[in-house]
Structure 1
């Protein structure tokens, strides 16, 4: 009877630990999704402010003869590439950054990214951007839920997805010179597949990293960078879907 009582007590203790772990994980994931959603909201507000207020004259150049949009201004081009510079800087400084510095970096990044995303509102109609945004949100929710709940190990996909991102970057650079509509179509199709896969892959990876960082000083930093990874996946999926489904101005 004593042994049975001990086993029951140990089993109940284990179940209690698992329950607390599950609750903590759900709170952690919700925190990451809140960071991501807040970042998307801030980027969207900045993009609309740039396009629909006098700020447009600061970041965009206009043809004096017609008054029509003629591309980004010098300041606009700097703003478009600024998030990339910030991202590379954070990659080298991540280990030395405090939790507060990591959060400041995140909000600075999504703000500058909003200026870059304003180009979508210039190229595509507002109605089609909103429509594709909700399509992207639905796809993101389904893919992230799959990554969170699946028992299948998605880690093997990591190398293939990384190679896909590199391939898209190379194809994008090549297409800047050849301007091939077929290459653009292929790149868009691959982009949708790659970033759809990355949403599920990163969600599972975030879930698995939780145990290693919970309750430590690194938890906030990891949460912010995890939110950034999901934010970037969402933004890239949105842009590639717009190439298929968006209506141009």
Structure 2
């Protein structure tokens, strides 16, 4: 039976197109993960440099005052850095379309650095060993969840909508607990937070992948990669903090 040349050509070009998408997707996701990892690394470096109990805490005098031997209190600049970091997230979310790729990168890394400033306070609450241990637990969990989100054939859209509702409830509960200061409520919030950010890691990974395949990356690949990295960065940092609340050893 003779082959139809046109069908043979069409099949070949279709396979080539799929191969191009697969290769482009791998390169795109690698860029997202590289941005995300660089942000986490920068946050960690700034946190160590801002740790007032560390011999490497060169930035600590800017953000902390020693009110008694080995007792430190955050000053106004630390609180300013925390609120500035929150503002930068909203700024990126609403202005990313008008930013150049270089500006988007600068804002992302600036946000990661500011996060490192206020996260330095974790070293005053938890032991260095437990922070290190929980970090690697969070990294392993994040890697597995993100891999599942990338490879699964299941549509996670419905799960993502449910998780976003849960995230809003989590934020409200955290605000309420600022006034209640309930250890039991904090435990419930942390346990729920682990589940929510674990699910969001898989959901966001699939969403980043689908946006590329659907062609939303055209002409804005670098900025889309940065926004994808920001989403995964937030998932990882919050997963780490929630796990630290559950399993960290306090000083």
TM-score w.r.t. length of structure 2 = 0.94
**What SS does the aligned partner of 1:247 have?**
coil
What is the Cα deviation at residue 3 of structure 1?
5.1
**What SS does the aligned partner of 2:50 have?**
helix
CA–CA separation in structure 2 for the residues paired with 1:163 and 1:231? 20
Residue 39 (str. 1) matches residue 28 (str. 2): no
Map 1:37-116; keep pairs closer than 5 Å.
Answer: 37-51=37-51, 52=54, 53-63=57-67, 66-116=68-118
Aligned match of 2:13: 13
Map 1:145-160; keep pairs closer than 5 Å.
Answer: 145-160=147-162
Gaps of 5+ in 1: none
Map 1:226-237; keep pairs closer than 5 Å.
Answer: 226-237=228-239
Residue 213 (str. 1) matches residue 216 (str. 2): yes
CA–CA separation in structure 2 for the residues paired with 1:137 and 1:19? 30
CA–CA separation in structure 2 for the residues paired with 1:61 and 1:194? 36
> Aligned residues, how many?
246
CA–CA separation in structure 2 for the residues paired with 1:169 and 1:230? 18
Q: Over residues 89-132 of structure 1, what are the superposed CA-to-partner deviations in whole Å (9 max), with x where a residue is unaligned?
A: 22232222121211111111111111121111221111111111
Q: What root-mean-square deviation, in Å, do the aligned CA atoms of Structure 1 and Structure 2 show?
A: 1.4
Residue 224 (str. 1) matches residue 235 (str. 2): no
CA–CA separation in structure 2 for the residues paired with 1:54 and 1:41? 17
CA–CA separation in structure 2 for the residues paired with 1:137 and 1:92? 29
Gaps of 5+ in 2: none
CA–CA separation in structure 1 for the residues paired with 2:37 and 2:27? 15
